[in-house]
Copies of this chain bind each other. A is one copy, B any other.
Amino acid sequence: MSTVESELRVGMVGYAFMGAAHSQAWRTVNRVFDLPTRARMALICGRDESKVATAANRLGWDGHTTDWRDLINRDDIDVVDVCTPGDSHAEITIAALAAGKHVLCEKPLANSVEEARAMVAAAAKAQAVGVRSMCGFNYRRVPAVTLMRQLVESGRLGVIRQVRAVYLQDWIVDPQFPLVWRLQRDRAGSGALGDIGAHIIDLTQYVTGQRITGVSAITETFIKERPLPAESSGLAASTGNGSVEAVATGEVTVDDAAVFVARLDGGAIATYEASRFATGRKNALRVEINGSLGSVVFDLERLNELEFYEATGPTAGQGFNRILVTEGDHPYMSAWWPPGHIIGYEHSFTHEMRDFLEAIATGTDPTPSFADALQVQLVLDAVVRSAELGSSWTEVEPTLVTVAA
């Protein structure tokens, strides 16, 4: 066990769902992993003084502030963790990088390609002086997902031929569910597509090592008007039931569901679907990848399991092998419990923080980089454009080589 020599002081902006999840990870990461540095939960930032004070106390941050500019400029902050809605990612992140802070930015990287490009440029500039940046596609660090990547990378699946990926939820099926910020384009950028579709785009590209080159897409908003919320934040909003008076409504400006077919640059073809209208599906990120020699299947609602089929050996013994990804030699799992003692959703963040801390401490670039995240943004953009053009085939723009000035 190493002697901890150094400490990285973390300042986090945002304290809602993602803020709570990240806090749990920062609190845990050095308790289970041996790392060359320790994270200190130094400062949390939110706009409402009373709420952020409560959050700091509850979540275990040393201090709090209502001004993110203060946070990124303080000398006693080394790392900035951006957990706000997508519309403020670019501004905060670019400023933090300019201030020399390592940045972890939640996904999606930004609400537009333009913003994402600016962030990539800022990250490249910062990287030249040793400042690290990373985008928070946490599902890469679910052990079963990392294992999928290892299987593909080692050639166990052969040539990847087909990808099918869905991310299905149902939390807005009720037409009376209110118009929270995630249903407003100016705040959230897009709906199911950017929120959860981004995850399956990143995950499948990461696992296959192939990138999407073009898409034909349909997006749909099934419920076009919804009640305005009294007050709401993220997923937790609910309508005031029992109310008899007329409720003001507003327009839903994002997609409820998005589906698309795609080609990948390694020759694979794919289907993707992101939906908040899949009744009964709560957090159903499901991916199947077929290669010439084998296949893998993953379901986030059973994230400790991976199904793996190998088309080798005698036919009579072949089948989908349900691997319980809880062994000490599975990715990240030696830090946790004995085999069969499962982990949960939040552990993916702890693994993310682990890798981010290690990258900073060892002076290497963590992944996914902002450039990786820009490429996901470009896919999202192609999906939106295809849908707007009546589902016509739409090429994904190249990321371009970003030159640090």
Interface residues of A (CB under 8 A from B): 1, 4, 17, 20-21, 23-24, 27-28, 30-32, 54, 57-60, 147, 161-162, 164, 166, 169-171, 173, 214, 216-218, 220, 222, 235-236, 257, 259-263, 267, 269-271, 273, 275, 277-284, 288, 290-295, 300-304, 306, 308-309, 311, 314-324, 326-330, 337-347, 390-393
Contacts and interface: CB of A to CB of B under 8 A. Distances in A.
A109 B102 CA distance: 49
A57 to B, nearest CB: 8
B279 A295 contact: yes
A20 B32 CA distance: 9
A306 B326 CA distance: 21
Given A162-B277, A218-B269, A314-B329, A391 B261 contact: yes
B222 A161 contact: yes
A235 B338 contact: yes
Contacts of A330: 316
Contacts of A220: 269
Contacts of A235: 338
Secondary structure call for the A interface = mixed
B322 A320 contact: yes
Given A317-B323, A322-B320, A323-B317, A283 B340 contact: yes
A204 to B, nearest CB: 14
Contact of A261 (B1, B60, B169, B260): B260
A321 B324 contact: no
Contact of A337 (B302, B315, B329, B345): B345
A222 B271 CA distance: 17
B301 A340 contact: yes
Contacts of A338: 17, 171, 235-236, 282-283
